[in-house]
Amino acid sequence: MKDTAAFLEAFLNHELPQLLPPSKLKKEERLHSWRKRSITTLFGPILLHRAYYLGPKGSCCPLDDQLGLCDQYTPAVAQLMCWTGAMDPSFEQASESLRRLTGLDIPGRQIQRIIRRFASHSREWKKNRMEKEPQKPVTILNIQADMTGIPMRPEELIDIKGKQSDGSAKTRQIKIGCVFTQAIDSKGQPQRIPSSSVYVSSFGEVHDFSNLLHAEALKAGYARAQKVVFLGDGAEWIWNMVEKRFRGSVQIVDFYHACEHLHTLCETLESDSGCIDALFHAWRRRLKNNGLPGIIRKAEKMASLLSRVRKKSVLEQLAYFRTNAARMTYRSFRRNGFFIGSGAVEGACRHIVCQRAKLSGMRWLISGADAVLVFRCLIKSNLFDDYCVVWPYAA
């Protein structure tokens, strides 16, 4: 590596200046001096002698621009910094990984700064990239969305309502989306195609998030898909978004979220733990077999025998099931080959957000967390190599 670095240094210092004669410059630019600069390459640091030019629009070093340097780092090194900074548990760990695997001594703060510098460009590229739709119409296109919290620094939590006893917040919500296609396995069960999964994240409003998710859905064949299935929990913002941007898609409430509400309902109706478990398991089977109307009728009958407070609580909980009744016909969904669990986006909340942004002691600024998660979504979507092809050399 040292020999290669020495060879590269000699080449850049002795050969490239001949390839950039003054005649290639603009008429108003003139050579001022030769300046030295330490450059970090994949093979190690080198010392670069560059021609420094002055012009009416300021100064420049043409060699820096032609090499695509980002501060002192070559594009390949900057790409490694973005990868390790996003995928390792911390910036300091990313620094250690680079030191052990490449021999490069790059501080964690430098890695953080480079990630922030390229995050906006990578997000825009991902959103606006040109991608051919599948030649054959997608049979079933799956779209899922969820939300999770990221611990924030105090200045990011001003006027934010939270779940603390005093109404304060410790986290800010980030929205996660996943788009993927599916196949049928040997047992006739739906199976997600991992290579088709594309992830998006956003701290913005629902409108901004829906734009990102809709753009990815179009690239995955949304316009020609035979069926579009949108899976989420019972959050109102999700279904409002679906009605505005994904109208006509099959809407399904995640079965496991529905079961959580069902268990809470059983706890309200029964007081004995044994009776609660027995009722829940019986109703869980009925719910999975399109038995929600019968559950609602039975719950109303049982509620009539309860106290006024508990009866009111039961009726409030039943409102959730009535609102989402059409999204809970799980037996019909399974017969049509649809997923009934939002495992893809739930997993994304864990392996994209939690494993990087919710570790012990972490407190983020929105800009810092957003930059890291942009690259994690890019990498987990198998798009990082494509992005490196169009790496912004003028960033």
pLDDT given for residue 134 in this prediction:
64
Q: Where do the domains of the chain lie? A: 2-67, 140-250, 256-327
Contact between residue 74 and residue 67 where contact means Cβ atoms under 8 Å apart: yes
What pLDDT, on the 0 to 100 scale, is given for residue 26?
A: 61
Strand bridging mode 44-55 / 58-60: antiparallel
Say if residue 37's pLDDT is above 70.
yes
Does residue 140 surpass a pLDDT of 70? yes
Cα 35 to chain centroid, rounded: 42
- Provide the pairing of β-strand 227-232 with 58-60: unpaired
Q: What is the pLDDT of residues 363-381, one digit of tens each?
A: 999 999 999 999 999 999 9
Mean pLDDT of the chain: 91
pLDDT at residue 27 is higher than 70: no
Using pLDDT thresholds of 50, 70 and 90, give the confidence band for residue 65.
confident
Q: Which residues pair with 253 in a beta bridge?
A: 232
Q: What is the DSSP string of 279-348?
A: HHHHHHHHHHTT-HHHHHHHHHHHHTTS-HHHHHHHHHHHHHHHHTGGG--HHHHHHTT---S-HHHHHH
Distance CA(195)–CA(198), nearest Å, equals: 8
In this predicted structure, the answer to whether residue 19 has a pLDDT above a threshold of 60 is no
Neighbours of 346 (CB within 10 A): 19
Whole-structure pTM value? 0.90
Average pLDDT over residues 65-71: 83
pLDDT surpasses 60 at 394: no
Terminal-residue alpha carbon distance, the chain: 27
The stretch 336-341 carries a mean pLDDT of: 95
20-24, 157-161, 325-329, 382-386: least confident range: 20-24
Q: pLDDT digits over 39-54, tens only?
A: 999 999 999 888 777 7
Q: What is the DSSP string of 95-148?
A: HHHHHHHH-----HHHHHHHHHHHHHHHHHHHHH---PPPSSPPSEEEEEEEEE
pLDDT average, residue stretch 259-283:
95
DSSP H stretches of helix in 181-272:
206-219, 236-245, 255-269
Say which DSSP state 73 is in: B
- Mean pLDDT value of segment 35-42: 90
pLDDT band at 64 (very low <50, low <70, confident <90, very high): confident
pLDDT range class, residue 280, cuts 50, 70, 90 = very high
* 277 vs 274: CA distance, rounded Å: 5
Residue found by looking up tokens 């019972």 in the block? 234
Q: In the chain, what's the furthest Cα-to-Cα distance?
A: 95
Percent of the chain exceeding pLDDT 70 equals: 94
Query: Residue 21 pLDDT > 60, yes or no?
Result: no
What are the tens digits of pLDDT across the range 145-195? 999 999 999 999 988 887 776 778 899 999 999 999 998 888 888 999 988
DSSP 8-state secondary structure symbol assigned to residue 366 = H
Query: For residues 282, 286, 289 and 293, what is the CA-based torsion angle, rounded to 10 degrees?
Result: 180
Selection from 138, 333, 173, 139 nearest residue 254 by Cα: 333
Cα separation values, 380 from 131, 162, 186, 189, 349, Å = 17, 30, 27, 24, 12
Task: HSE, CB side, 13 Å, CA atoms: give it for residue 54.
Answer: 4
pLDDT of residue 17: 63
Total Cβ atoms within 10 A of residue 132: 7
Mean pLDDT over residues 224-247, rounded? Answer: 94
Q: Which helix (H) or strand (E) holds 75?
A: helix 75-87
The crossing angle, in degrees rounded to 10, of helices 91-102 and 75-87 is 130
Cα–Cα nearest to 76, from 61, 97, 98: 98
Report yes or no: 68 and 391 within 8 Å, Cβ to Cβ: yes
Q: Which residue, among 275, 239, 149, 122, has the nearest Cα to 203 in the 3D structure? A: 149
Radius of gyration of the chain (CA): 28
pLDDT tens-digit map of 70-95 = 889 999 999 999 999 999 999 999 99
State the Cα–Cα distance between residues 159 and 170, nearest whole angstrom: 12
pLDDT tens-digit readout, 208-220: 999 999 999 999 9
